[in-house]
Amino acid sequence: MSLKIVIEEYTPPKKSNGKLVKNEKKFFLPPIPWQWTLYDGSKIVSFGYCHTEEDAEIKANSALRDFNGYR
């Protein structure tokens, strides 16, 4: 199978009417804006969140090296 890295900007979940999901009674942290995912074919091998796109690239490449060393 081929390995693929996808880096995308994270969007928080929304209700069916398009409004952001918020719960005022719980502690709230704003989302970390960049998500990276490492796929082996259609299977997710690893994923994570970062504050910058550059950090996401570094973390994804590190996970790729770790996964190749494990196989």
Domain count, the chain: 1
Residues in CB range of 21: below 8 A, 6 or more apart: 12, 13, 14, 15
Residue 23 included in any domain: no
Neighbours of 35 (CB within 10 A): 18
Residue 16 included in any domain: no
Neighbours of 52 (CB within 10 A): 11
Residue 15 included in any domain: no
Tokens representing residue 70 in the block: 């494990």
Q: Which pTM value belongs to this model? A: 0.68
Residue 13 included in any domain: no
pLDDT for position 14: 63
Residue 71 included in any domain: yes
Residue 45 included in any domain: yes
pLDDT digits (tens, 9 = 90+) for 5-54: 999 987 766 666 666 666 655 555 666 889 999 999 899 999 999 989 99
Domain ranges, residue 43: 1-8+32-71
Q: Locate tokens 């009417």: which residue?
A: 17
Residue 68 included in any domain: yes
Residue 1 included in any domain: yes
